[in-house]
Structure 1
Amino acid sequence: MAVRLPRPHRDDVRIALAGLLGGLLLWAIGLGTRPDDEPIVLWAGSWPVLLPLCVMAGCELLRRVRPRTVLLVGTVALACDTVTQGSLVTVVMFTDLVYASVLYGPPASARRIPWIMGLLSVIGTVVPTAVWRVPEAVLIGVIIGLVTLAPAATGWIVRNHRDAAEAARLRAQQTALLAEMDRSQAVSAERARMARELHDMVANHLSAIAIHSTAALSLDDPDTSKEALGVVRENSVAGLAEMRRLIGILRDSSGDTEPVAAPTLGGLGALVDHARANGLDVHLDCTHTSLPAPVEMAAYRIVQESLTNALKHASPGRVTVALVQREHALDVRVTSPFGGARDSGPRAPGSGAGLVGMSERVALLHGTFEAGPEGPEDLEGGKIWTVRATLPITEGETE
C-alpha cells in the first residue's frame, strides 16, 4: 500500500520557491559565506553548495505538516553546508525551520526546542572560548544563538499569543452558547408563565359560558334561558376584560399599559361568589395572616382552577375550599363530588392544562401537589375529587 505524502501548505510552497530561487541567485553571482581556502571547507567549488540548498528548500515545503522531521533533516543539511563555501539563504531557511518547529510542532517539542537551542548557544560560546582563548571566539556562540535560539524563542512567543487568542475565542463561543441557552430557557419559562396566566384568567369564564349556553339551548323555559344568557353575558364581559388586560401587558404599544395587580387571597371571597353565581355550592374556610406575594398568587390560582374544574366536571354536591396556614407552609385543599351514577360526563371540554399549570406553580415554589379521587365510593358509586397543595413560606418574606 502506497504511503500518501501530506500536501504542503500554499504559503510553504511560496517560501520554498523563494528560498530556492534566492539561493540559486547568490550561487550564480558567486556569493558564498566563506572562501575555498578556509580549513573548514572540505568540499571546494561552487557546485556542492546546491545540495544543502535544495534539501533545505524541500524541508520548507513540509514545515507545517512535519515540523520535527524537517528540523532534523535541516540540521543535517546545515551541517553539510558548513563544510562547503556555504549559502546565506540555506542558513536563513534553517532559522525558519527552527521557528516553524516550535510554532507548529507538538506542545512537548515546542517546550523542549528553545531549551535545546539555548544549550547549544551556551556550548558554542564556552567551548571555543576555552579552547582558543581569544575574545573573538565569543562571536561563534552569538552566531549560533542568532541561528537557533532567536527563531526558537520567537516561535514560542508567537505560539503563546496564538494559543491565548484561541482560548479567548473558545471562551467567547462558550459565553455566547451559555447566553443563548439562558435566553431560550427564559423564553420557554415566559411562555409557560403566559400560558398559565391565560388559562387561569379566561378558562373559568369560558367554562361558565359553555355550560350556561348549553342550558339555554336545551331548556324551553324562557325565564331559565334568560337567566342563563345573563350569566353568559356577565362571563363574556369579564373574560374580555381579562383578555384586554393581558394584551396590555404583552403589547408595549397598547393603550392599556397599566400593570395588572397580582391576585391575592383577599379576592377569594369574590372568586367564590362568582362560582356560586355559576351554580356551584361552594363553602370557603380560609385562615391566614400576611403571606409572600408569590404564595398568595399561587394559592389564588390553584383555588380558581379547582373551582373551574369543579364547574366542568364535578357531580352535584358541595365544593369545599380550605386554606390553613402553618408555621412554614400554606395548605390548600379543594374537594368536590366526582363520578357516580348521576355523572354524565364533563359539562364543558377540558384539555388537562389546568392540572399541569397548578403543578408548575407549586413546583416553582418547591412545594408539593396532588390531585385525584380519594375515599370510598358512596351508594351511587361516586368519590371525592381532591386537590391538595402545600406551599412553603420562606422565612423573612412575609410582610
Structure 2
Amino acid sequence: MAVRLPRPHRFDACAALGGLLGGLLLWGIGLGTRPADEPIVLFDGRWPLLVPLAVMAGCELLRRAAPRTALPTATAALVLDTLTQGSLVTVLMFTDVMYAAVLYGTPAAARRLPWITGLLSVAATVVPLAVWRVPEALLIGVAVGIVAFAPAATGLIVRSHREAAESARLRAEQTALLAEMDRVQAVTAERARMARELHDMVANHLSAIAIHSTAALSLDDPATTRRALDVIRENSVEGLAEMRRLIGILRDADGDTAPAASPTLDGLAALVDGARANGLDVILEAAHGTVPAPVELAAYRIVQESLTNALKHAARGPVKVSLTRGDGLLNVTVTSPYGDRDAPRAPGSGAGLVGMRERVALLHGTFAAGPEPAPEGRIWAVRAALPLTEGDLA
C-alpha cells in the first residue's frame, strides 16, 4: 500500500520553486562552489550538479509536511553535491531543511539534531587538523558548523520560544476559563442569595395579606373586616420596608452581604408578635446567647419561613419555636400541628424549604423537615443544627 505524503505548505512550495530557479540561474551562468580540477570533484561537468539541486528542491517542498523524510534525503543530496562542482543554492536549501527538521519535527529530533550536528562540527574541525596539520583544515569544521549546526541550533531556539509562547497562551486561556467559571458561580450564588432574601422577607407578609383579605371578603362583619384591613395594612407597610431594604442591598456598590439592617435574633420577639397578630398561637423558647452573624441571620430566616408555612398550612393548635445552644451548635426547632386540610390558606411554591435547606448547607449544618409523631398528635417539624465555630463557617 502506497504511503501518501502530506500536502506541502504553500510557503514551502514557493521556497522550493525559488530555490530551483535560483540554482538553475547559477548553473546557467556557470557559477559553482568548487573548480572542476579539485580532487573531491568526481562528477565533472555542469550537468551532474542539477541532480542534487532538483532533489534538494524536492526536500525543500517537504520541509514542513514531512521533515523526517526531507532531512535524510537532503543530507544524501548534499553529499552528492560535494562530489560535483557544487551549487550555492543547494547548500542554502539544505540549511533551511535542517532548520525546518528541528522546528517542525518530533520533540526527540529537535533535541538530538543540535547535538549531532554539534559533534559533527567538532569532529570536522579536529580530525582534518590532526591529519593535515595546517590551519586551513579548520575551515572544514567552520563550514560544517555553518551549514548544519547553526541552522539546527536556530531551529531549536525558535521552537523553544514558540513552545513557551504556546504554553503561556494555554495558561492564559485556562486562567480566563477559570475566571469565567468563578464569575458564573459567583453570579449564580448571588442570584440564589437574593432569591432566598426576597422569598423570606416578602412571603410572610404577602401570605398574611392573602389570608386576611380572603377573610375580609368572605365575612359580612364590619368589625372583622376592619381588623383584617388593619392586619393587611400593617403587613403591607412592613413588606414595603423589607423590599426597600432588599433594593438597598442590590444597590450596594461594595457588595455587602450583611448590612447593618439585617435582622437578628433579638427581633424574634417582634417576629413572633407579628405571627400572633396574623392568627397563630406561637410559643417561643429562646436560649441562644451571642452567635456569629451568619448563623444569626440563617436562624432568623428559618424561624420566619417556618412561621409563614405554619400560617399557610398548619392545623389549629400551638406553634412552638425553640432555639437552644449546645455542643458548638445552635439548634432551631419549629413544630406545628399537622392535619388534613382541604387547601392551604395561601398558595405556596415550595421555595421556602429549598431556601432553608440552602442556608443550612452554606453553614455546613444539618436540616430536616417533615411530619413526625408526637404525644399530642402528628406534627410538622423543622429542625436545623447550625455550627457556631468559625472553622465550620469558612
TM-score between the two structures when normalised by the length of structure 2: 0.95
Q: In the alignment, what sits opposite 1:359?
A: 357
Question: Of 384, 387, 390, which residue of structure 2 is paired with 1:389?
Answer: 384
SS state at 1:339 partner? coil
Distance in 1 between residues matched to 2:283 and 2:208, nearest whole Å:
19
1:236-255 deviation digits (Å, cap 9, x = unpaired):
121122112212322369xx
Q: In the alignment, what sits opposite 1:72?
A: 72
Query: Which range moves more in the overlay, 183-192 or 220-229?
Result: 220-229
How far the C-alpha of 1:372 sits from its partner, in A, is 0.5
Q: 1:231, 1:278 within 8 Å by CA — same for their partners in 2?
A: yes
Distance in 2 between residues matched to 1:396 and 1:122, nearest whole Å:
66
Distance in 2 between residues matched to 1:289 and 1:392, nearest whole Å:
14
Q: In the alignment, what sits opposite 1:128?
A: 128
Q: In the alignment, what sits opposite 1:21?
A: 21
How far the C-alpha of 1:162 sits from its partner, in A, is 0.4
Q: Which amino acid aligns with 1:134?
A: V
How far the C-alpha of 1:260 sits from its partner, in A, is 5.4
Q: 1:281, 1:317 within 8 Å by CA — same for their partners in 2?
A: yes
How far the C-alpha of 1:326 sits from its partner, in A, is 1.4
1:137-177 deviation digits (Å, cap 9, x = unpaired):
11111111111111000000000000000000000000000
State percent identity of aligned pairs.
Answer: 75
Structure 1 position 137 matched with structure 2 position 137: yes
Distance in 1 between residues matched to 2:52 and 2:154, nearest whole Å:
24
How far the C-alpha of 1:136 sits from its partner, in A, is 1.1
Query: Which range moves more in the overlay, 7-16 or 384-393?
Result: 7-16
Distance in 2 between residues matched to 1:120 and 1:219, nearest whole Å:
108
Distance in 1 between residues matched to 2:391 and 2:100, nearest whole Å:
65
1:210-267 deviation digits (Å, cap 9, x = unpaired):
11111111111121112112111111121122112212322369xxxx9551111000
SS state at 1:203 partner? helix
Decide whether aligned partners of structure 1 residues 40 and 11 sit closer, same or farther in structure 2, where only a CA change above 3 A counts.
Answer: same
Distance in 1 between residues matched to 2:303 and 2:388, nearest whole Å:
18
Q: In the alignment, what sits opposite 2:187?
A: 187
Distance in 1 between residues matched to 2:16 and 2:305, nearest whole Å:
79
Distance in 1 between residues matched to 2:391 and 2:115, nearest whole Å:
63
Gaps of 5+ in 2: none
Decide whether aligned partners of structure 1 residues 183 and 349 sit closer, same or farther in structure 2, where only a CA change above 3 A counts.
Answer: same
Q: In the alignment, what sits opposite 1:153?
A: 153
Q: In the alignment, what sits opposite 2:60?
A: 60
How far the C-alpha of 1:397 sits from its partner, in A, is 10
Aligned pairs for 1:308-319 (under 5 A) are 308-319=308-319
Q: In the alignment, what sits opposite 1:39?
A: 39
SS state at 1:8 partner? coil
Q: In the alignment, what sits opposite 2:344?
A: 346
Structure 1 position 247 matched with structure 2 position 242: no
1:116-152 deviation digits (Å, cap 9, x = unpaired):
1111112211221122121211111111111111100
Structure 1 position 288 matched with structure 2 position 283: no
Q: 1:100, 1:155 within 8 Å by CA — same for their partners in 2?
A: yes
Q: Which amino acid aligns with 2:205?
A: H
Moved over 6 A (4+): none
Q: Aligned-residue CA RMSD in angstroms?
A: 1.8
Q: In the alignment, what sits opposite 1:103?
A: 103
1:6-57 deviation digits (Å, cap 9, x = unpaired):
2111111111111111111111111100111111111111111111111101
Distance in 1 between residues matched to 2:5 and 2:179, nearest whole Å:
44
Aligned residues: 389
Decide whether aligned partners of structure 1 residues 26 and 167 sit closer, same or farther in structure 2, where only a CA change above 3 A counts.
Answer: same
Q: In the alignment, what sits opposite 2:83?
A: 83
Distance in 2 between residues matched to 1:29 and 1:395, nearest whole Å:
89
Q: In the alignment, what sits opposite 1:170?
A: 170
Q: 1:328, 1:395 within 8 Å by CA — same for their partners in 2?
A: no
Q: In the alignment, what sits opposite 2:367?
A: 369
TM-score between the two structures when normalised by the length of structure 1: 0.94
Gaps of 5+ in 1: none
Q: In the alignment, what sits opposite 1:301?
A: 301
Q: 1:117, 1:149 within 8 Å by CA — same for their partners in 2?
A: yes
Query: Which range moves more in the overlay, 291-300 or 368-377?
Result: 368-377
Q: Which amino acid aligns with 2:84?
A: T
SS state at 1:159 partner? helix
Query: Which range moves more in the overlay, 154-163 or 114-123?
Result: 114-123
Aligned pairs for 1:318-329 (under 5 A) are 318-329=318-329
Q: In the alignment, what sits opposite 1:233?
A: 233
